[in-house]
Amino acid sequence: MLFGKIFHTVSFALFPAMVLYSNNLDRIDFSEIIFPLVASLSVALTLLWIASNFIKSVEASAIIVTIWLAVFYNFFAIQLIIEAFTHTEFVENQFVFISLIFLVIISIAVIRWIKFLAPVNLFLNVLSSCLLAFILIRVCVFKLSNSDLAEVKLSACPFGSQISRACHLPDVYYIVTDSYSGIKRKIWI
């Protein structure tokens, strides 16, 4: 029954790489996301192991790590939402500090109410199951309906087999700005 207590942590760790893969099914092969999946899962399980050594409750540790992962993977979106509601812009590391305080308070609350965690654990398991199910259904439908399409696209690249992979790069973009660039970022969600 240990896996039932940590299922949502494993699912939340796998979710970002699986979303990127499901959005780029026609451009990348599953073998290309194995390393990101293993790396994300390794970090999550390491955090879970460290937390469970401190807290002595796998269920509470799993909930804390899941919340930390959710905030980490959605950090910028959360910042934009808070800025939109409060009509303020955070300066440099101000939001990071506020987020860490929030996560520590949530972690302490989870530890203090450890006996009431069964419904939270169930909710997180159902939520993470639904999220992964939607992605897996999308991947399966695509793979079943387009099994011949991938081979045709790769062979149609005019540059030969060495560069054919470059013709079909995924739509994944990273914009990294530092606090000195002065670039204003706006994301339409």
Contacts of 64 (CB under 8 A, 6+ apart): 51, 55, 106, 107, 110, 111
- The answer to whether 37 touches 17, Cβ cutoff 8 Å, is yes
d(CA 14, CA 51): 19
Q: Which of 48, 10, 17, 43 is nearest to 32 (CA)?
A: 17
118-145 helix and 2-23 helix, angle to the nearest 10 degrees: 40
pLDDT band at 5 (very low <50, low <70, confident <90, very high): confident
DSSP state of 116: G
Task: Identify the pLDDT of residue 91.
Answer: 65
Q: What is the pLDDT of residues 59-72, one digit of tens each?
A: 888 888 888 888 88
Report in angstroms the alpha-carbon separations of 26 from 29, 40, 65, 71, 135: 8, 23, 32, 29, 14
Residue 52 has pLDDT above 80, yes or no: yes
d(CA 135, CA 16): 11
Residue 132 has pLDDT above 80, yes or no: yes
Residue 51 has pLDDT above 60, yes or no: yes
Q: 108: helix, coil or strand?
A: helix
d(CA 184, CA 13): 30
Q: Which of 10, 97, 14 is nearest to 48 (CA)?
A: 10
Placement of tokens 């207590």 in the chain? 5
Residue 42 has pLDDT above 90, yes or no: yes
- What is the average per-residue pLDDT within 16-39? 87
Comparison of pLDDT for 169 and 49, the residue scoring more: 49
- What is the average per-residue pLDDT within 15-23? 86
Residue 148 has pLDDT above 50, yes or no: yes
Provide the whole-model pTM.
0.64
Q: What is the pLDDT of residues 106-129, one digit of tens each?
A: 777 877 777 777 788 888 888 888
Q: Which of 187, 162, 55, 45 is nearest to 113 (CA)?
A: 55
- What is the average per-residue pLDDT within 67-94? 76
Task: Identify the pLDDT of residue 7.
Answer: 85
Task: Identify the pLDDT of residue 162.
Answer: 47
Task: Identify the pLDDT of residue 170.
Answer: 59
